[in-house]
């Protein structure tokens, strides 16, 4: 019994280490990264993929740069982020497909109709479909927009951006909710 109590005491003392040094982060080899493929699909046939893993931050940084360029109102820096041809699927059901330069010009015209944009990014993540070997970024945020007549609007956005093997945007899918802000995440 004394040996068990002694062992518990040693473990307790070692686990109460008050050192302020953070544990050293170690890279996990790609072979050890596990995708989050569900074991039970509950009878659903998944059309695209149900096998994803977290991806590198490079594509996340690209989407954040594109959001920043939209907020700032100058899309002239956006071209290097896109593949030669791009497809956009907007929340209102419209879509735009074609050469990136033409689409950037159209997006700039739309952005010019908005006097001011303030954006709150709520979450962003990059994922890779392991069975398709494709890269995606999902971003959630809220835009506070003022048009050129002074009318304000609040738009909650969720966008999914697709990337090619060269790290260039090839498509974007958008969903939105206008009006009131979404509720805060649970626990806040």
13 assigned to some structural domain:
no
Q: Which domain holds residue 70?
A: 54-176
Q: What mean pLDDT comes out for the span 160-187?
A: 84
What spatial distance separates the first Cα and last Cα of the chain, rounded to whole Å? 46
Q: What is the pLDDT of residue 58?
A: 96
User: How many distinct structural domains can be found in the chain?
Assistant: 1
pTM for this entry: 0.76
> Which is more confident, 178 or 175?
175
Q: What is the pLDDT of residue 188?
A: 54
Please report, for the domain that includes residue 88, its CATH number.
3.10.450.50
Q: What is the pLDDT of residue 38?
A: 83
Q: Tens digits of per-residue pLDDT, 99-138?
A: 999 999 999 999 999 999 999 999 999 999 999 999 999 9
32 assigned to some structural domain:
no
Strands (DSSP E) contained in the chain are: 52-54, 82-89, 95-99, 114-129, 134-147, 152-163, 169-178
100 assigned to some structural domain:
yes
Q: Tens digits of per-residue pLDDT, 17-75?
A: 444 444 444 444 545 555 577 888 898 988 888 899 999 899 999 999 999 999 999 99
111 assigned to some structural domain:
yes
Rounded-to-10 torsion of CA 141, 111, 163, 47: 70
- Supply angle C-alpha 77, 78, 80, rounded to 5: 95
99 assigned to some structural domain:
yes
Of 128, 126, 124, 120, whose CA–CA distance to 139 is shortest? 124
Residue 87 CA: distances (Å) to CA of 128, 137, 148, 173, 174 = 19, 15, 27, 9, 11
10 assigned to some structural domain:
no
Residues 118/141, Cβ–Cβ less than 8 Å: no
């Amino acid at each position: 019994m004394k040996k068990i109590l002694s062992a518990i005491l040693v473990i307790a003392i070692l686990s109460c280490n008050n050192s302020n040094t953070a544990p050293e982060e170690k890279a996990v080899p790609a072979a050890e990264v596990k995708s989050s493929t569900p074991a039970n699909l509950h009878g659903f046939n998944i059309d695209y993929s149900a096998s994803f893993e977290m991806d590198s931050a490079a594509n996340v940084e690209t989407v954040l740069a594109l959001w920043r360029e939209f907020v700032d109102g100058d899309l002239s820096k956006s071209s290097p982020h896109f593949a030669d041809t791009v497809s956009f699927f907007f929340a209102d059901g419209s879509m735009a497909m074609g050469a990136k330069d033409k689409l950037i010009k159209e997006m700039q015209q739309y952005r010019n109709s908005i006097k001011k944009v303030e954006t709150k990014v709520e979450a962003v993540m990059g994922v890779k479909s392991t069975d398709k070997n494709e890269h995606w970024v999902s971003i959630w945020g809220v835009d506070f927009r003022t048009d050129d007549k002074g009318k304000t609007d609040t738009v909650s956005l969720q966008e999914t951006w697709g990337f090619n093997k060269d790290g260039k945007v090839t498509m974007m899918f958008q969903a939105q909710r206008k009006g009131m802000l979404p509720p805060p995440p649970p626990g806040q």
